[in-house]
Amino acid sequence: MTVLTVDTPGSSILPRRGGFAGALSDAFWRHPLLLLILMLTPPLLWLGIIYIGSLIALLLQSFFSIDDFSGVVNPEFTLATYAQLLNGTNLDIILRTVSMAALVTLASAVLAFPIAYYAARYAKGRWKAFFYLGVMLPLWSSYLVKVYAWKLILAKEGIVTWVFAKLHLGFVLEAILSLPVIGGNSLSVSYLGTFLVFVYIWLPYMILPTQAALERVPANLIEASADLGASPRQTFRTVLLPLALPGIVAGSIFTFSLTLGDYIIPQIIGSSRLFIGQAVYAQQGTAGNVPLAAAFSVVPIVIMGLYLAAAKRLGAFDAL
Amino acid sequence: MTPAVRFQKVSRHFGAVRAVDGVDLDVASGEFFAMLGPSGSGKTTCLRLIAGFEQPTAGSIEIFGERAEGVPPYRRNVNTVFQDYALFPHLNILDNVAYGLMVKGISKTDRYKEAEKALELVKLPGYGSRKPSQLSGGQRQRVALARALVNKPKVLLLDEPLGALDLKLREQMQEELKSLQRALGITFVFVTHDQGEALSMADRVAVFNNGGIVQQGTPQEIYRRPKTRFVADFVGSSNLLSPDLMASLGGERRWASLRPEAVRVASEGAEAVVENVSFLGAGTRLAVELGSARLHVMLPAGADVPDVGTPIRLSWNSQDIHYMDDAA
Amino acid sequence: MRSDRGQKSPLLLKVCAAGGLLFLHLPILLIFAYAFTTEEKSYQWPPPGLTLKWFAVAWNRADVWSALALSVQVACIATVIALVLGTLCAAAVSQTKFFGREAISLLVILPIALPGIVTGIALRSAFSLFDIPFSVWTIVLGHATFCVVVVYNNAVARFRRTSGSLIEASMDLGADGFQTFRHVILPNIGTALLAGGMLAFALSFDEVIVTTFTGGQQATLPIWMLEELIRPRQRPVTNVVAMLVVIVTFLPILAAYYLTRDGDQIAGSGK
């Protein structure tokens, strides 16, 4: 056995490494707060000043009003713009958007559950990776391309009409399209189309957190429930669903928020009636009424604030 | 002779929590020193104070006579074997061991030569090209040891070094650590909550409780003459005799301890009833009821073992009764 | 609900799960078919014929090239900024316990938690308030703001996985703060940063909502596509560009996945 030569004549405290780096390193070690402040300053300046500052500037504008004759913003405090927000047409826009967001969230949750459950409980090894990528790739692939794909699918001469015709079910499609409110000339100009595209685009955002929550449910818990005599339906309702709920709520934060603020999907696929996002875009752009646009954009902020507070109580943040 | 480590009135408070409170400590040069105590007793914080990961709130720390407060860990000629080994996952074993020499700017050839020597020392020659994830727990522990020793530290700190190993490996490593320490002559300070480990390896032991040292001494002193009930209870399996029991047995009305192997089954003495019998190989342990107290008696191998439920009489030499300072 | 028909034969569950995945992927695959169609005027299905000529047409379109160049330029700068800011934030939050770390997490997540239109209009009104003219930098500013979160999420996850005792071990072995950063921290979080950077690039490359507010007259590739969607000029060229965009964004996503697959997942809280 080779033994290390241990003749430790050296000092037990070593001198500082020379130069500026050595001194700086010692200073950071002695004052960790200094390092922390140095690390936090750039991101805080960026997000805190530029981003939050802009948001506050926006909020302030919503308390201004626009001069009806000159079209110039009058920088005096008023609630008139908010009063305008609550008139018939504008209130309709808000209600329409919120109900769409709620329906999209519900549909996403129902569609996402089997996929998430299968991926969490039954998929192993390579299949697990396959499922994960199978959800990640659509989530990350280009938003506009996905919307465009649905424009192709739902167009009057597109694949949906073709499939219905091939199955000799064209009359079913006709019947659906002739329904009041949700129907239209073709799927691509109907509420039904808008709804479908919203669900499609936001579905991956629901699958991932639901899967993450289900992943944490130990398999033996389900077996224990069955062992204790619960039917599959009872097991689902009393064990699985409560445990998956934080994940579903976490996913719903995305589906709800993203639907509330989107203005491109209803513009490209949908009827001519506006959603909040379109109203904001129109007011700040063509109409030039920035205060009203600001007031409109406060609506999703407030709704999401309430939604997040409720979600936090349900423990959804742990599932994000 | 200058002590390797000297604590004078050292405290480390975290807000209202007094992790270490007014500790005085001398570790002699070349000594194998154990800091023993339950979790939260302050022993690990003391180790981290020596390593430099913590700074004392009050008091002074000297390493071989040099003041260490305010000196960062990387400027202390002291190395640590971490509880979870903390091997760098992105480096192979050789680079792990050579890390300390690398940051000191020692050339590649020289540091790899030293690292190979250190790996031989811990009986892992030729393992250099593997990754930490390919090694067993025991092997990782040896690598962590080599990585610390290659720097020839003045003091080697070991934080629960054997905690993650299974029993057999642990006993083997205890012996190896001990002979390694003797061969190298480096001062070892190690932290453990396992009294057997502390007593079998250390030259001296400090028993910690509630952020302070309750007793310091050789393993024999700690085992034979525990200063307080806590030490008697924590170190070894001594019987604790309450003041009332002692009085009824004709002794002083004070807490006392009595080691199980000092008690004999005899024809004369205190009356007791056998409650339980455990065969331990090297001997047999009886649990007996003496008055309202429950005592353990260790019978040597080959002695007659009474049946459960039989009344027996117990005797001991009066010098085996050890009175303790206080009740705590 | 039918997803729990016992462990042995979850056939219905299997069908639902497979159907869900198909639903997610078929529309994207459809784009590939349309890129080869001979039909110019409508979205007719099935394509009346197949041709490669639109690839050549798209190749020769200067507006596509300039939009692509702007998108790449913006995405590169935004990614670099996001990498710096996200890593700093993640390091501060995970290496030290300090008051207000929850607030910092919230601040980083806010730009994607709030609808993109809010971020967009807020930045636009701030630009007009300070008379800042639209430029590449106004687009970059918006993109970097919401790209920070993907770098941050990846870095935080990796920091959490990297044992704190590694840093102590390095310092114990004589490495000062800078040496520890170079030899221990950077190698351990490197792949997570690379993955975060790729996701940030993909996110920026694809962004349209905020860009409509911060871009002025300049067209990034998504803005170009949006124009084509609202006022179609040459549909087959749009088809070809859409297909290329799908391919270009898939590559960094796949790379990011393989970089981080052992252990932490790519931050699902995407856009």
Q: Of the residues B180, B210, B231, which one is the last residue of a structural domain?
A: B231
Collect the ranges in chain A with pLDDT lower than 70: 1-10, 315-320
Whether B23 is covered by a domain: the verdict is yes
| Mean pLDDT on B152-156 | 93
B108: CB partners within 8 A, 6+ apart:
none
Compare CB distances from A158 to C43, C148, C238 and report the shortest one's residue.
Answer: C43
Residue of A nearest to C86 (CA): A43
B276 and B227, same domain (yes or no): no
pLDDT exceeds cutoff 90 at C16: no
Q: Which residues in chain A are closer than 8 Å to C77, comparing Cβ atoms? A: none
Q: Is the pLDDT of residue C9 over 60?
A: no
The nearest CA of chain B is from the CA of C104 a distance in Å of 24
Neighbours of chain A (3+ CB pairs under 8 A): B, C
**Cα of C89 to nearest chain A Cα, Å:** 6
Confidence (pLDDT) at A1:
40
Give the pLDDT confidence of B291-300 residue by residue, as tens digits.
Answer: 888 899 998 8
Q: Are B76 and B51 in contact (CB under 8 A)?
A: yes
Last residue of a domain, which of B199, B231, B263?
A: B231
Distance (Å, rounded) from C-alpha C27 to C-alpha B127?
53
**A-proximal residues of C, 82-111, CB under 8 Å:** 84-86, 88-89, 91-92, 96, 98, 104, 107-108, 110-111
The confidence score (pLDDT) of residue A126 equals 80
Q: Which residue of A has its CA nearest to C181?
A: A25
Residue C228 has pLDDT above 80, yes or no: yes
Of B17, B16, B7, the residue nearest B56 (C-alpha): B7
Predicted ipTM > 0.90? no
Residues from chain A contacting residue B185 (CB–CB below 8 Å): 6
In a shared domain, residues B252 and B269 = yes
Count up the domains in chain B and report the number. Answer: 2
- Angle, alpha carbons C28-C31-C37 (nearest 5°): 160
pLDDT at B10 over 70: yes
B44 in a domain, yes or no? yes
Res A315: pLDDT? 66
| B308 occurs within a structural domain | yes
Which residues of A lie inside 8 Å of B (Cβ-Cβ)? Answer: 1-4, 6, 8, 10-16, 25-26, 29-30
Reduce the secondary structure of chain A to three states and give it as a string: CCCCCCCCCCCCECCCCCHHHHHHHHHHHHCHHHHHHHHHHHHHHHHHHHHHHHHHHHHHHCCCEECCCCCCEECCCCCHHHHHHCCHHHHHHHHHHHHHHHHHHHHHHHHHHHHHHHHHHCCCHHHHHHHHHHHHHHHHCCHHHHHHHHHHHHCCCCHHHHHHHHCCCHHHHHHHHCCCCCCCCCHHHCHHHHHHHHHHHHHHHHHHHHHHHHHCCCHHHHHHHHHCCCCHHHHHHHHHHHHHHHHHHHHHHHHHHHHHHCCHHHHHCCCCCCCHHHHHHHHHCCCCCHHHHHHHHHHHHHHHHHHHHHHHHCCHHHHC
Average pLDDT of chain C, as a whole number: 82
In this complex, is the C-beta atom of B100 within 8 Å of any C-beta atom belonging to chain C?
yes
CATH number at residue B169: 3.40.50.300
Has residue B140 been placed in a domain? Answer: yes
- Classify residue B328: in a domain, yes or no: no
Q: Using 50, 70 and 90 to split pLDDT, how confident is the model at B137?
A: confident
User: Per the CB < 8 Å rule, is A15 touching B154?
Assistant: no
| Chain B with chain C: Cβ pairs closer than 8 A | 66
Q: Which domains does chain A have, with CATH numbers?
A: 86-319 (1.10.3720.10)
Structural domains of chain C sorted by starting position, each given as residue range(s) with its CATH number in brackets: 9-51 (no CATH), 61-260 (1.10.3720.10)
Q: Tens of pLDDT along B274-328? A: 999 998 888 899 999 988 888 999 988 888 888 888 899 998 988 888 888 765 5
Q: Do B88 and C166 touch (CB under 8 A)?
A: yes
pLDDT over 80 at C176, yes or no: yes
Q: Side-chain half-sphere of A125: how many Cα atoms within 13 Å? A: 1
User: Same domain for B278 and B192?
Assistant: no
> Does the distance separating the beta carbons of A264 and C27 come in below 8 Å?
no
Residue C263 has pLDDT above 80, yes or no: no
Domain match, B45 and B184 both: yes
Q: Which of C163, C172, C176 is facing B79, going by the closest CB pair?
A: C172
Using DSSP, state whether B119 is helix, strand or coil. helix
Instruction: Looking at the structure, tell me whether residues B44 and B60 fall in a common domain.
Output: yes
Under an 8 A CB cutoff, do C229 and A151 touch?
yes
Contact C238, C61 (CB under 8 A): no
B104 touches chain C (CB under 8 A): yes
Alpha carbons B218 and B205: distance in angstroms, whole number: 6
Position with higher pLDDT, B109 vs C102: B109
Cα-based distances in Å from B90 to B86, B123, B297: 12, 23, 53
Q: B220-232: per-residue pLDDT in tens?
A: 999 888 888 889 8
What pLDDT is stored for residue C5 in this prediction? 39
The residue of chain A nearest to residue C153, with distances taken between CA atoms, is A320
pLDDT of residue A10: 62
Residue A3 pLDDT: 43
Whether residue B244 sits in one domain with residue B225 = no
Which whole number is the average pLDDT over C144-155? 90
| Spatial separation of the C-alpha atoms in residues A159 and A156, rounded to whole Å | 9
Mean pLDDT of chain B: 90
pLDDT beyond 50 at C135:
yes
Q: What pLDDT is recorded for position A58? A: 86
Q: Are residues B250 and B214 in the same domain?
A: no
Q: What is the pLDDT of residues A193-240, one digit of tens each?
A: 999 999 999 999 899 888 888 888 777 777 787 778 777 778 888 888
Q: Tokens in use for A71?
A: 């079209």
Least CB-CB distance to A232: which of C4, C14, C107? Answer: C4
B273 plus B210 within the same structural domain: no
Q: Which of A261-275, B187-201, C40-54 bottoms out in mean pLDDT, i.e. has the lowest? A: C40-54
Instruction: Specify which of A142-151, B37-46, B220-229, C206-215 reaches the highest per-range mean pLDDT.
Output: B37-46
Query: How far apart (Å, rounded) are the C-alpha atoms in residues C153 and C268?
Result: 9
The domain containing residue B318 runs over which residues?
237-323
Which DSSP category does B317 fall into?
Answer: -
What is the rounded distance in angstroms from the CA atom of residue C196 to the CA atom of residue A202? 21
Tell me: do B16 and B81 sit in the same domain: yes
Predicted pLDDT at C10: 72
**B277 located within any domain:** yes
Residue of A nearest to C17 (CA): A115
* Model pLDDT, residue C98: 67
Q: B101 with B198, same domain?
A: yes
- What the block records as the tokens of C170 is 């390095």
CA–CA min distance A254, chain B (Å)? 36
Choosing from B231, B247, B264, the residue where a domain stops is B231
Read off the CATH number of the domain in which B288 is found: 2.40.50.140
CA gap C82, A47 in Å, rounded: 11
**In chain A, which among 220-249 make CB contacts under 8 A with chain C?**
222-223, 226, 232-233, 235-236, 240
Tell me the C-alpha distance between A158 and A151, whole Å. 8
Residue B316 lies in a domain: yes
Least confident of A190-199, B207-216, C216-225: C216-225
Residue C166 in contact with partner chain B when CB distance is under 8 A: yes
Mark whether B87 and B128 lie in a shared domain: yes
DSSP code string of chain C: --S-S-SS--HHHHHHHHHHHHHHHHHHHHHHHHTTB---SS--SS-S-B-SHHHHHHHT-HHHHHHHHHHHHHHHHHHHHHHHHHHHHHHHHHHS--TTHHHHHHHHHHHHHS-HHHHHHHHHHHHHHTTPPP-HHHHHHHHHHHHHHHHHHHHHHHHHHS-HHHHHHHHHTT--HHHHIIIIIHHHHHHHHHHHHHHHHHHHHH--HHHHHH-TT---HHHHHHHHHHS-S-HHHHHHHHHHHHHHHHHHHHHHHHHH-SSSPPPS---
The DSSP annotation for B55-104 comes to: --SEEEEEETTEE-TT--GGGBSEEEE-TT----TTS-HHHHHHHHHHHT
Candidate ranges B37-51, B292-306, C106-120, C254-268; pick with highest mean pLDDT: B37-51
Closest CB to A12 among B77, B117, B183 = B77
Angle at B262 between CA B261 and CA B268, to 5 degrees: 120
Does A3 contact B184 at a Cβ distance shorter than 8 Å? yes
Q: How confident is the model at residue C250 (pLDDT cuts 50, 70, 90)?
A: confident
Pick the residue from chain C with its C-alpha nearest to B78. C172
Among B264, B323, B268, which residue's Cα sits nearest to residue B288? B264
Let me know whether B252 and B205 are in one domain: no
pLDDT at A4: 47
pLDDT > 90: percent of chain B: 56
What confidence tier does C4 reach under pLDDT thresholds 50, 70, 90? Answer: very low
Residues 180-199 of C with CB under 8 A from B: 183-184, 187-188
Residue C45 has pLDDT above 80, yes or no: no
Note whether A208 and A139 are within 8 A (CB): yes
Cβ–Cβ of B75/A14 closer than 8 Å?
A: yes
